[in-house]
Amino acid sequence: MPLEPEAVEPVAEQKAVYPELIERLRKAGATEVSSLDYSKSGMDVDAQVTPQSLCAVASILKHGHFSLETLVGVDRQPEFEVLYLFKADNEGPRVKLRAKTDRETATLPTLTNVYGGADWYEREVFDMFGVNFIDHPHLRPLLLPHFTKFHPLRKDFHGAPIVIPEDTVEIPELDVQAATKLGQSTGLRSDFFLNMGPQHPSTHGVLRILLHVEGETILGGRCHLGYSHRGTEKLAEKKQYVQFLPYTDRMDYLSPLNYNWGFARLLETATGIESTPRAEVLRVIMCELSRIASHLVWLGTYLLDLGAITPFLYCFEDRERILTIFERATGQRMTTSYIVAGGVRNDVYSTFSLEISELMRDMRKRLVEYDKLVIGNEIFLMRTDKVGIISPELAIEYGVSGPCLRGSGVDYDARRDEPYCELYKELEWKVPFETGGDCLSRSRVRMAELEQSVNLVEQALLKLEDGPVRSKVPKIFKVPAGEYYSVTEGPRGIIGWYLIADGSQIPYRLKVRVPSFANLQTVEQLMPGTRVADVVSILGSLDVIIPEIDR
């Protein structure tokens, strides 16, 4: 059941304004509330809030079933600004709240009492800018090691020597306390701490979870991120827009094309460059192929986590066929750097359509096989059915997106609900969703998405007409000063790019809203009461990519 926003009704199709919402935000204490042009900035409503009124304004949005999409910290020199990006369901508006704090005090009230999902976002801002959030339950560095003393995204920070201190693997006392706090003590003193990761095969990368367990039952747990933090957002402030393209591949390496598209779309929103019709079709084909490849890796590794080895071999065999097509069309297997502002980098080869339609034909047969092999399997059902239930309310509060959101019964897909590609409207497909909210539902959504992607690719191939693949782009690429936001749907959910440009060739601040970040955050809420083996099942069903979270 899709949850409808209460307070807002879009007035016009093209340029919607939300007078009722604006009025309510004003009443709650927001100053300078204005409506923005969605097609230019990617936001509908912009409001300035004082630290005192922040929670009151956020509560209004919470009642309107807005979900917190991300927090963007900005060093405005001298003061800091934190942007809170909210999204209503389906056709509703996107709202941006701006809260300022000066450099010396650098404090803001926490939003965790209103939005539980603000937890990690605030910790990230604390990490990167040193902004303190008063009354935050667990304000400790999230991405950086606990021994660092700097705040990298401040504009006056210029690199630090890479020195590894001796004793970094110790579990700090605070982490133990935090893990204890999450679970309810049973009074029996047989509980202990279990460290899962960072080198653990089921964490799909380098995630560390500190579990507080009693026997097999989990009382609580804390995720520790940052084992793959690479400082991409700081790098973005040093690289030209063109040079940053390769880095977009390396954030989510299972679906680099979707990230390429997100970044290209951001630049197209900002500069007004339009891509060509042929390029648009190619983008859809490549991104849907990329989605298939990504879901195949999920299927293979998830089953590997649950103890089945065969599907891994089958899925990778199919994935290799898709990668071969990527390699022939883009020049690389994984880090494609293919989709750029104004179109795609090069045209595809002659037998492209033929090969893909053949592959899709085989894919359909394979999907039936996978369904028989996996989804019907009794062992699989026992491991996933009614395990790790994300309720729709929790999903919206934490800003969960993608198959995880649709597995919880919220019918939202950016491909259909965000006007970012006209072609998706023309093609015939549907957004699969399940109401269970458990691991099985999420798996079934992904399996159905595989089928829909095959559908989309097959139809898009018919629309492929001759023409240029890249429109004219100025040689020196500059973005006019301003703030832009763009959203695309990746295999894991909403990929959002927030850009603050100052008119030069280099971004002033570039923030990526990654889907896995919000999806993984729910894990701390899902774990209490389950068994240790269920954690593996839950983690796998969320399909997180750690370098994407850590950036």
Partner 1 sequence: MSESLQSTSHEEAGADTDHIPPIVQFLPLQKALDLARANSLWPLTFGIACCAIEMMAASASRYDADRFGAGVFRNSPRQADLMIVAGTVNLKMAPIIKRLYDQMPSPKWVIALGSCAICGGPFDQDDNYAVLQGVEKIVPVDIFVPGCPPRPEALLHAILELQERIKSGSTNATRA
Partner 2 sequence: MIERGFWRGFGSLLTGLGVTFKRMFGKNATIQYPHVPVPVSPIYRGPVRLIAEEVASEHKCIGCLACQRICPTHAIPILTVAKNEQNKNYPVDFVIDDALCCFCGLCVDVCPTEALEHTRIGDMAATSQSLLRREILHEGAITSDNFPTSTGKKENKHV
Q: CB 111 → partner 1: shortest distance, Å?
A: 26
Could you say which DSSP state residue 470 is in? B
320: contact with partner 2 by CB under 8 A: yes
Least distance (Å) between residue 150 CB and partner 1: 7
Out of partner 2, partner 1, none, which partner does residue 244 contact, by CB within 5 to 8 A per kind? Answer: partner 2
**Residue 187's binding partner, choosing from partner 2, partner 1, none, with beta-carbon cut-off 5 to 8 A by kind?**
none
Residue 479 CB, nearest approach to partner 1 (Å): 20
As beta bridge partners, residue 531 has 217
d(CA 60, CA 66): 9
Are 392 and 410 contacting, i.e. CB atoms less than 8 angstroms apart?
A: yes
Nearer to partner 1, 236 or 448 (CB): 236
Q: Which is nearer to partner 2, 7 or 306 (CB)?
A: 306
State the residues that interact with partner 1 by CB under 8 A: 144-145, 148, 150, 152, 157-160, 162, 164, 168-169, 198-201, 205-206, 226-232, 234-235, 237-239, 246-247, 250, 253-254, 297, 300-301, 312-314, 316-317, 319-320, 323, 333-335, 546-547
Nearer to partner 1, 48 or 335 (CB): 335
Cβ 370 to partner 2 shortest distance, Å = 9
Nearer to partner 1 by Cβ, of 226 and 262: the residue is 226
Select the binding partner of residue 9 from partner 2, partner 1, none (C-beta < 5 to 8 A, by kind).
Answer: none
158 binds, among partner 2, partner 1, none (CB under 5 to 8 A by kind): partner 1
Residue 35's contacts (CB-CB under 8 Å, 6 or more residues apart) are 17, 18, 22, 44, 45, 46
Q: Is 228 in the site for partner 2 (CB under 8 A)?
A: no
Q: Which is nearer to partner 1, 165 or 187 (CB)?
A: 165
In terms of CB distance, is 193 or 352 closer to partner 2? 352
Nearest approach in angstroms of CB 303 to partner 2 is: 11
Instruction: Specify whether the backbone of 433 is left (phi greater than 0), alpha (psi in -120 to 50) or beta.
Output: beta
Q: Which two tokens stand for residue 367?
A: 């999907």
Which contiguous run of DSSP H or E holds residue 485?
strand 482-490
| CB distance 58 to 115 below 8 Å | yes
* CA angle, 518 then 402 then 269, to 5°: 90
Cα separations (Å) of 187 from 184, 191, 220, 351?
9, 9, 15, 68
Q: Does the protein bind partner 2 through residue 314 (CB under 8 A)?
A: yes
Q: Which listed range, 41-49, 238-246, 512-520, 540-548, lies at the site for partner 2 (CB under 8 A)?
A: 238-246
102 touches partner 2 by CB under 8 A: no
CB 122 within 8 A of CB 71: yes
From first CA to last CA, the distance across the chain in angstroms is 34
Position 335, amino acid: T
Please tell me whether the peptide bond between 198 and the residue prior to it is cis, using omega within 30 degrees of 0: yes
Part of the chain binding partner 2 (CB under 8 A), chosen from 125-133, 220-228, 322-330, 352-360: 322-330
Please state the closest distance from residue 75 (CB atom) to partner 2, in A.
23
How far is the CA of 300 from the CAs of 73, 204, 296, 311, 373, in angstroms? 37, 12, 6, 5, 12
Nearest to 347, CA basis, from 328, 319, 333: 328
Q: Give me the helices (H) in 101-198, please.
A: 118-129, 173-182
* Alpha carbon distance 340, 35 (integer Å): 30
Q: Which of residues 358-397 bind partner 2 (CB under 8 A)?
A: 369, 372-373, 375-379, 381, 385
Q: Which CB atom, from 288 or from 438, has the smaller least distance to partner 2?
A: 438
Interface with partner 2, residue 505, by CB under 8 A = no
Q: Find the shortest distance in angstroms from Cβ 239 to partner 2.
A: 6
Nearer to partner 1, 168 or 350 (CB): 168
Q: For partner 2, how many residues bind (rule: CB under 8 A)? A: 33
Among partner 2, partner 1, none, what binds residue 215 when CB lies within 5 to 8 Å by partner kind? none
CA torsion sign for 239, 245, 246, 250 is positive
Q: By CB under 8 A, is residue 332 in contact with partner 2?
A: yes
CA angle 206, 395, 208 (to 5 degrees): 15
Residue 19 near residue 8, CB atoms below 8 Å: no
List the single partner that 160 binds among partner 1, partner 2, none, CB under 5 to 8 Å by kind.
partner 1
Binder among 34, 148, 346, 391 for partner 2 (CB under 8 A): 346
The strand ranges marked E within 350-460 are: none
Which residue from 325, 283, 331, 329 is spatially nearest to 456, judged by alpha carbons? 283
Sites of contact with partner 2 (CB under 8 A): 239, 242-247, 310, 314, 317, 320, 324, 327-328, 330-332, 335, 337, 345-346, 349, 369, 372-373, 375-379, 381, 385, 436
